[in-house]
């Protein structure tokens, strides 16, 4: 185990939330603790502006800038933290799902006022598919939010997870006085806009102590005692194993914008979050401390500037050591490739790296050789699994507007879908092409890029499909079904059979009529998205 020390000190994670819950603000505060940025606002200025929804070029421009913040590294108490950014805009949700395959744990931010929101639910489903350990941060305690016990209930029910409160708030909104750390038995007093170095903690090992009344007042002291009593009885000590197995999520309360509760979160995170984990492949499970290198591509970022048409493929190192200028096997293409300028995201600027270890993410210049999900190895024919595609939400037929450019259109759409911009479904036994996306914005991106980069012009005809379902089962039954439902049977880009259901009702009917066929909402079938 050559790299044990390097592996042990790494933590790779993502922050996820419904837009506006405070992901960007929390990211920034964490980076400030790690000394990775000096000034607050540095991340925020890169954020895709929420209001620019109709202007995708603006969004793409900002996505371009955000390459630099795609992976943010910082060191905190000797731990090397890799924080992978996820796009906040819901139309790019598929990017977020894929990024989640490259992390080992997540911090989920929930707005205390809005509670569990749509995107929170979806992201948690993706985490659950892979049993990703979660720490929950309830943000905006400086605002009048939901009653903490109600929130606890809501989160547990809606997200189907067991929570373990690590801190407990004393009031909220204008009355917010701080949080009591149930584990350390300290009272952390709230002050707006706390500096990273400020420490307003008062040790109160025994809640019966009158110091509590003197500090927060009699009424709040009484309430806290009651709450803590109740919590103690229900939750006891945090079971770290259960957290690592994604069965329990530790819960913190705070206010990111005021830098309150963030340090506690980070301190716990670096102590309990998992070190880089192994990953399954189609043949065996790869452990991080294996000597030989392996890794997979989870994201491809294209440069929209026509003068710089390079793409950047993001590689997550799973095992061994990634080395610059060293030949590795590109498994799908069965070809050796090497990289002279791989870069890491260690500093504020991208910088060329000579080596990278499990948990690290390396940016590779790509001229079109990579697809999402590709594996690199030191010779073994491994194929990492667990990088599924999900059923899109909007479907449109691709219409070629310039028959002279048919070849360009075919090539362009294939490359864009390899990048993960959208999903391409081709009619089984035909040539009809249907594009599936999560948001309208992606169609604009495709249309623009096909024209700019491939000289192909296209239009889209809206189709009213509900879901794409990958189908598996008895071959004869599948053959019959395919023959019978020809108009709705497509192939994904890897040739897998997909049934496009017009509505939930149609899907349920087909399920009932075909009990020997399984309908899956993702391209990998071990676990299911609802």
User: Token pair for residue 288?
Assistant: 């991080």
Q: Which residues pair with 384 in a beta bridge?
A: 281
The whole-angstrom separation of Cα 479 and Cα 156 is: 43
In the complex, the smallest distance separating the C-beta of residue 46 from ligand G4P, rounded to whole angstroms, is 11
The whole-angstrom separation of Cα 405 and Cα 187 is: 68
Secondary element (H or E) of residue 375:
strand 375-377
| φ/ψ (deg, to 5) at 286 | -100, 125
Residues 84-103 that bind ligand G4P (CB under 6 A): 88
The whole-angstrom separation of Cα 218 and Cα 231 is: 20
| Helix boundaries (H) for 14-146 | 23-34, 56-65, 93-99, 118-129
Check residue 37 for interaction with ligand G4P (CB under 6 A).
no
Query: Which listed residue (24, 101, 188, 375) binds ligand G4P by CB under 6 A?
Result: 24
Check residue 21 for interaction with ligand G4P (CB under 6 A).
yes
In the complex, the smallest distance separating the C-beta of residue 23 from ligand G4P, rounded to whole angstroms, is 3
| Helix boundaries (H) for 185-305 | 210-216, 218-235, 240-244, 262-272
User: Token pair for residue 391?
Assistant: 């059923």
Query: Which listed residue (8, 19, 66, 386) binds ligand G4P by CB under 6 A?
Result: 19
Residues 104-133 that bind ligand G4P (CB under 6 A): none
Q: Which stretch binds ligand G4P (CB under 6 A): 134-142, 383-391, 456-464, 494-502?
A: 134-142
Residues 448-477 that bind ligand G4P (CB under 6 A): none
In the complex, the smallest distance separating the C-beta of residue 399 from ligand G4P, rounded to whole angstroms, is 35
| φ/ψ (deg, to 5) at 297 | -90, 125
CB nearer to ligand G4P: give 3 or 139: 139
CB nearer to ligand G4P: give 120 or 344: 120
CB nearer to ligand G4P: give 44 or 414: 44
User: Token pair for residue 398?
Assistant: 């691709």
Print the binding letters for residues 44-73 with ligand G4P: x by CB under 6 A, - otherwise. Answer: x-----------------------------
Query: Which listed residue (3, 17, 167, 523) binds ligand G4P by CB under 6 A?
Result: 17
Torsion sign over Cα 216, 222, 225, 227: negative
In the complex, the smallest distance separating the C-beta of residue 142 from ligand G4P, rounded to whole angstroms, is 5
CB nearer to ligand G4P: give 82 or 86: 86
Torsion sign over Cα 182, 183, 186, 188: negative
User: Token pair for residue 65?
Assistant: 């800038």
CB nearer to ligand G4P: give 83 or 238: 83
Q: Which residues pair with 473 in a beta bridge?
A: 517
In the complex, the smallest distance separating the C-beta of residue 89 from ligand G4P, rounded to whole angstroms, is 9
Q: What angle do CA 388, 390, 392 make, to 5 degrees?
A: 150
Check residue 22 for interaction with ligand G4P (CB under 6 A).
yes
CB nearer to ligand G4P: give 139 or 514: 139
Q: Tell me which residue of 24, 511, 493 sits closest to 257, measured CA to CA.
A: 24
Q: Tell me which residue of 142, 134, 97, 150 sits closest to 119, measured CA to CA.
A: 97
Judged by CB under 6 A, the number of residues near ligand G4P is 18
In the complex, the smallest distance separating the C-beta of residue 180 from ligand G4P, rounded to whole angstroms, is 18
In the complex, the smallest distance separating the C-beta of residue 112 from ligand G4P, rounded to whole angstroms, is 8
Check residue 12 for interaction with ligand G4P (CB under 6 A).
no
Residues 138-157 that bind ligand G4P (CB under 6 A): 139-140, 142-143
CB nearer to ligand G4P: give 172 or 286: 172
Residues 234-263 that bind ligand G4P (CB under 6 A): 255-258
Check residue 25 for interaction with ligand G4P (CB under 6 A).
yes
Does residue 493 contact residue 424 with C-beta atoms inside 8 Å? yes
CB nearer to ligand G4P: give 17 or 408: 17
Secondary element (H or E) of residue 411:
helix 406-419
In the complex, the smallest distance separating the C-beta of residue 26 from ligand G4P, rounded to whole angstroms, is 7
Q: Which stretch binds ligand G4P (CB under 6 A): 16-24, 89-97, 128-136, 232-240?
A: 16-24
Q: Tell me which residue of 155, 163, 201 sits closest to 181, measured CA to CA.
A: 201
| φ/ψ (deg, to 5) at 446 | -65, -50
The whole-angstrom separation of Cα 402 and Cα 409 is: 9
How many Cα atoms within 13 Å fall on the side-chain side of residue 218? 0
Q: Which stretch binds ligand G4P (CB under 6 A): 13-21, 119-127, 366-374, 474-482?
A: 13-21
In the complex, the smallest distance separating the C-beta of residue 234 from ligand G4P, rounded to whole angstroms, is 26
Return residues touching ligand G4P (CB under 6 A). 17, 19-25, 44, 88, 139-140, 142-143, 255-258
């Amino acid at each position: 185990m050559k790299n044990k020390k390097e592996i042990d000190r790494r933590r790779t994670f993502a922050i996820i939330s419904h837009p506006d819950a405070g992901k960007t603000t929390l990211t920034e505060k964490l980076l400030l603790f790690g000394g990775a940025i000096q000034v607050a606002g540095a991340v925020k200025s890169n954020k895709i502006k929420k209001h620019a929804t109709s202007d995708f070029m603006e969004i793409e421009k900002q996505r371009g800038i955000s390459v630099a913040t795609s992976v943010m590294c910082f060191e905190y108490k000797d731990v090397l933290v890799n924080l992978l950014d996820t796009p906040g805009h819901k139309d790019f949700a598929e990017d977020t799902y894929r990024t989640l395959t490259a992390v080992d744990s997540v911090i989920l931010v929930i707005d205390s006022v809005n509670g569990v929101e749509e995107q929170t639910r979806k992201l948690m489903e993706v985490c659950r598919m892979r049993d990703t350990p979660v720490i929950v941060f309830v943000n905006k305690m400086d605002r009048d939010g939901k009653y903490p016990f109600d929130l606890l209930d809501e989160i547990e029910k809606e997200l189907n997870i067991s929570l373990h409160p690590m801190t407990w708030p004393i009031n909220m909104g204008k009355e917010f006085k701080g949080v009591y750390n149930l584990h350390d038995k300290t009272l952390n007093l709230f002050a707006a806009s706390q500096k990273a170095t400020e420490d307003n903690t008062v040790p109160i090992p025994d809640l019966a102590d009158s110091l509590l009344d003197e500090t927060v007042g009699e009424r709040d002291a009484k309430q806290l005692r009651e709450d803590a009593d109740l919590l103690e009885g229900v939750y006891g000590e945090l079971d770290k194993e259960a957290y690592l197995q994604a069965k329990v999520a530790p819960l913190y309360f705070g206010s990111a914008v005021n830098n309150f509760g963030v340090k506690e979160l980070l301190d716990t995170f670096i102590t309990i979050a998992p070190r880089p984990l192994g990953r399954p492949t189609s043949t065996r499970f790869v452990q991080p401390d294996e000597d030989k290198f392996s890794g997979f591509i989870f994201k491809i970022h294209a440069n929209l500037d026509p003068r710089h048409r390079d793409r950047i493929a993001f590689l997550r190192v799973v095992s061994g050591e990634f080395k610059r200028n060293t030949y590795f096997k590109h498994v799908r293409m069965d070809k050796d490739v090497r990289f002279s300028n791989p870069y890491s995201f260690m500093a504020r600027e991208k910088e060329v790296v000579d080596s990278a270890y499990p948990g690290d993410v390396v940016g590779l210049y790509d001229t079109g050789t990579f697809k999402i999900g590709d594996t690199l190895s030191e010779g073994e024919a491994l194929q990492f699994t667990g990088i599924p595609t999900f059923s899109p939400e909007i479907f449109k037929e691709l219409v070629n507007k310039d028959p002279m450019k048919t070849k360009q259109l075919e090539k362009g759409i294939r490359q864009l879908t390899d990048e993960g911009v959208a999903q391409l479904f081709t009619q089984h036994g035909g040539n009809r092409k249907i594009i599936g996306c999560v948001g309208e914005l992606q169609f604009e991106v495709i249309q623009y890029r096909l024209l700019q980069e491939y000289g192909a012009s296209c239009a889209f005809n809206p189709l009213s499909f509900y879901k794409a379902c990958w189908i598996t089962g008895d071959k004869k039954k599948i053959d019959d079904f395919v023959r019978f439902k020809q108009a709705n049977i497509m192939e994904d880009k890897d040739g897998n059979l997909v049934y496009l259901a017009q509505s939930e009702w149609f899907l349920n009917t087909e399920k009932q009529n075909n009990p020997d066929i399984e309908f899956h909402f993702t391209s990998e079938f071990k676990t299911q998205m609802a």
